[in-house]
Amino acid sequence: MHKVLIANRGAIARRIVRACAALKISSVVVFAPADAEAPYLSEATEAYPLIGNTALETYLDQAQLLAIAKRCGADAVHPGYGFLSENPTFASKVCESGLIFIGPSPTWLEQMGDKVAARTLLAQAGFSVFAGSGLVQSADEAARALAKIGLPLVVKPSGGGGGMGMSVVRTESELNAAIERSRHIATQAFSADGVFLERWIERPRHIEFQILADGAGGAMHLYERECSVQRRHQKLIEEAPAPGLSRALLNQQADLAERICGELGYDNVGTLETLYEDSGQFGFLEMNTRIQVEHGVTEAVTGLDLVATQIRLAAGDPLPADRPPLQGFAVEARLYAEDTQTGFPSTGRLTVFRPPELYAVRIETGFQEGQWVTPYFDPLLAKIIAHGDTREQAIGRVLVALRAFSVEGVTTNRDLLSRVLQDQAFLRGELDTGIVSRLQRG
């Protein structure tokens, strides 16, 4: 592999540029007009403009991206996360063009992208799933599924992610309306109206397991990440290892995920996401067939460059010889340009944008001072990742970095992040997916 086209933007595009440089591989970035001042354009080997303004016209335009890949002489495409990263059609077109797709094979993107199919596959392989249904096609099927699952339950689109289209049902009379609502949102967001039902878990923890695999039966887990601090089903703070749970329990579940992914012949990187309830049960949530936003947390506690490893695996290199040991604690906070009261993105010119340089703190960002935050794309400004010998030390270093991070020109969620990081329940490791909403209610 000699030259990689990075079909993405922002922090992940910059991160892939850095990994390519470490591997002595040429990197090619693409950019929409809104990203014309991004710092990674000068850091990459080459940069090509995209025609259009919106995501659909630029980073989701498969023909335009493939044309640039051909023009620049790339031999591989890295999709990053979001956009086309889990699109099996795009992955297939990349492969059909004679290029390497840096990610799982199109077959895995398709199979894991269908949540009903993924649930069925993992259950058959021996991974625990919470009670649920197949695709619900009629009111009669919905009623039968409700009788089997019980209340409360959640209606979920079978495609997509990020919590979009989910509807919690607490009474039987709400069911049909919830299904129609989820179908409508799924059609608009994912161009598919399939939905299924699943038992609703009150106040679960969201714990995910990082997997590497070679497609030939080899697999390796890199422990877990705790991702329970969320708002509107979007993660805000992630950490490793997961606090308050025994290492033996977590390793048992990670070993199971590793074994199943190996036996199934999974390839490249993936994250097996679970919900964990107080009874001690893990239940499969979904498999993310890409590098995760929060991959830096795992890098911090293992010392392994996950993006470089992903590139090596795509090039046919073997898995790492040994699993690196856990080294300390890492915490990541996502700094967004947003109004935390309304939840809407905050747009404007970054008149001041000065990430701090601190010991054991890593800042991942695709922005620099003077750049505009536009309404066209995700408003994630930066990821602040801190490492420590103790969890408390890592949390403290994130807090210091948040306070030292100078941002003017947009509103950020800094205050909300600081509140969570100083919350007594959070500090005790008493986590669940409702912690942010409870703090915001006061």
CA distance 4 to 6: 6
Which pLDDT band, with edges at 50, 70 and 90, does 160 fall under?
confident
Chain-centre distance of CA 102, in angstroms? 16
Residue 283 lies in a domain: yes
Residue 118 lies in a domain: no
Contacts of 376 (CB under 8 A, 6+ apart): 32, 34, 53, 54, 55
In the three-class reduction of DSSP (H, G, I as helix; E, B as strand; rest coil), residue 84 is classed as coil
Residue 124 lies in a domain: no
CA distance 55 to 115: 25
Residues 33 and 94 in one domain: yes
Q: What is the pTM of this model?
A: 0.96
CA atoms within 13 A on the CB side of 32: 21
pLDDT at 442: 72
Residues 52 and 177 in one domain: no
DSSP-derived pairing of the beta strands 372-373 and 329-336: unpaired
Four-point Cα dihedral 121, 125, 130, 134, nearest 10: 30
pLDDT at 165: 87
Residue 123 lies in a domain: no
Residues 183 and 241 in one domain: no
CA distance 256 to 126: 8
pLDDT at 161: 73
Question: Amino acid letter at 16?
Answer: I
In the three-class reduction of DSSP (H, G, I as helix; E, B as strand; rest coil), residue 197 is classed as strand
Residues 190 and 209 in one domain: no
Q: Can you say whether the dihedral through the CA atoms of 388, 393, 395, 400 is positive or negative?
A: negative
What is the domain extent for residue 405?
Answer: 205-441
Segment 47-76 shows an average pLDDT of 97
pLDDT at 340: 80
Answer whether 377's CB lies under 8 Å from 10's CB. Answer: yes
Cβ-count burial of 82 within 10 angstroms (0-12 exposed, 13-18 middle, 19+ buried)?
Answer: buried
* Domain's final residue, options 151, 180, 199: 199
* Domain's final residue, options 64, 85, 102: 102
Residues 332 and 414 in one domain: yes
299-318: pLDDT as tens digits: 999 999 999 999 999 999 99
Which pLDDT band, with edges at 50, 70 and 90, does 135 fall under?
very high
* pLDDT over 80 (residue 121): yes
Question: Angle at the Cα of 210 (from 204 to 212), degrees rounded to 5?
Answer: 155
Q: Where residue 184 sits, what CATH number does that domain have?
A: 3.30.1490.20
Which pLDDT band, with edges at 50, 70 and 90, does 164 fall under?
confident
Query: What does pLDDT average to over the chain?
Result: 96
373-421: pLDDT as tens digits: 999 999 999 999 999 999 999 999 999 999 999 999 999 999 999 999 9
Answer whether 431's CB lies under 8 Å from 205's CB. Answer: yes
Residues 136 and 185 in one domain: yes
DSSP-derived pairing of the beta strands 26-31 and 46-49: parallel
- Domains in the chain, number: 3
Answer whether 387's CB lies under 8 Å from 297's CB. Answer: no
pLDDT at 192: 79
Residue 117 lies in a domain: no
pLDDT at 9: 98
Take residue 342 and report the two structure tokens written for it: 């309304």
CA distance 340 to 317: 44
- Picking from 103, 107, 81, the residue whose alpha carbon sits closest to that of residue 10 is 81
Residue 277 lies in a domain: yes
Answer whether 272's CB lies under 8 Å from 284's CB. Answer: yes
Catalytic residues: 290
* Domain's final residue, options 169, 199, 229: 199
Residues 54 and 187 in one domain: no
Q: Where residue 356 sits, what CATH number does that domain have?
A: 3.30.470.20
What 66-74 contacts at long range (C-beta under 8 Å, 24+ apart), as own/partner pairs, is 66/93, 66/94, 66/97, 68/5, 68/28, 68/30, 69/5, 69/28, 69/94, 69/97, 69/99, 70/97, 72/3, 72/5, 72/28, 72/46, 72/48, 73/3, 74/3, 74/4, 74/5, 74/28, 74/99
* pLDDT over 90 (residue 163): no
pLDDT at 341: 81
Take residue 233 and report the two structure tokens written for it: 């089903």
Answer whether 206's CB lies under 8 Å from 314's CB. Answer: no
343-366: pLDDT as tens digits: 899 999 999 999 999 999 999 999
Kindly state the percentage of the chain with pLDDT values over 90: 92
Residues 400 and 351 in one domain: yes
Residues 343 and 431 in one domain: yes
Take residue 36 and report the two structure tokens written for it: 């014309």
Residue 116 lies in a domain: no
Answer whether 274's CB lies under 8 Å from 205's CB. Answer: no
233-279: pLDDT as tens digits: 899 999 999 999 999 999 999 999 999 999 999 999 999 999 999 88
